[in-house]
Amino acid sequence: ETGVTQTPRHLVMGMTNKKSLKCEQHLGHNAMYWYKQSAKKPLELMFVYNFKEQTENNSVPSRFSPECPNSSHLFLHLHTLQPEDSALYLCASSPPDRGNQPQHFGDGTRLSIL
Amino acid sequence: KNQVEQSPQSLIILEGKNCTLQCNYTVSPFSNLRWYKQDTGRGPVSLTIMTFSENTKSNGRYTATLDADTKQSSLHITASQLSDSASYICVVSRNAGNNRKLIWGLGTSLAVNP
């Protein structure tokens, strides 16, 4: 039990599909993150939310749309993805005073684009 | 250029043996350095975090060292166990105003064989 739960764990979708990834934490953290992990590449920060407000967007294509309805939940809406978007998508959280340093990671969603 | 380089890329050792993983960085200004363990199919889990003034930090059989002058860190694993098989990732935090930017290494893949 990591404290950060991601669903689904695996997702296969076509390029024209619309799907959403979900992340949930009940650690009392106020900052949440989306990361992309591809083979042979370092983790790439995608988005950061602090107290439900987006504070960082690392030039992520608009086919990825994050949503943070409250401090405990984070979504990543996917639409018209490309094969190169196949990767492990990790969610993380941290307390508000950690200078945007993720403390706890979920186990990720393995995304495959057909 | 802010970079984190880890060596070796992969390592195979026998159960019960010790090993040392290396992390060299060119990140400035330096804030802290963290080692993560990532099991296959799981998210990263933080092992140790060290600031500029700390030169060693232990977590059970894991001992991390930091030489801020030479910008090198190592992670030593003592009396390895099969469960130590994982990817070990070095992450350096760079001060960037009110936030900190994380520079991730590619990781060292460790296999502990019986």
pLDDT band for position B52 (50/70/90)? confident
- Interface check for A69 against chain B (CB to CB < 8 A): the answer is no
What is the structure's pLDDT at B98?
A: 66
Residue type, B79: A
Q: What is the pLDDT of residues A27-54, one digit of tens each?
A: 999 899 999 999 989 999 999 998 889 9
Phi, psi at A54, each rounded to 5°: -70, 125
pLDDT, tens digit, 9 for 90 and up, residues A57-108: 989 999 999 999 998 999 999 999 999 999 999 999 998 765 557 779 999 9
Burial status of residue B91 (CB atoms within 10 A of its CB: 0-12, 13-18, 19 or more): buried
Residue B71 φ/ψ region, left for φ over 0, alpha for ψ in the -120 to 50 degree band, beta for the rest:
left
Distance from CA of A79 to the nearest CA of B (A): 24
Q: Please tell me the least confidently modeled range out of A44-53, B69-78, B96-105.
A: B96-105
Question: What are residue B83's phi and psi, to 5 degrees?
Answer: -70, -10
Question: Which chain B residues contact residue A95 at CB under 8 A?
Answer: none
Of all residues in chain B, the one with the smallest CA distance to A90 is: B43
Counted across chains A and B, CB pairs separated by less than 8 A come out at 45
C-alpha distance from A59 to closest chain B C-alpha (Å): 15
CA B10 to CA B109: how far, in whole Å? 4
Kindly report, residue by residue over A8-19, the tens digit of the pLDDT: 999 999 988 899
Phi, psi of A85 (to 5 degrees): -85, -5
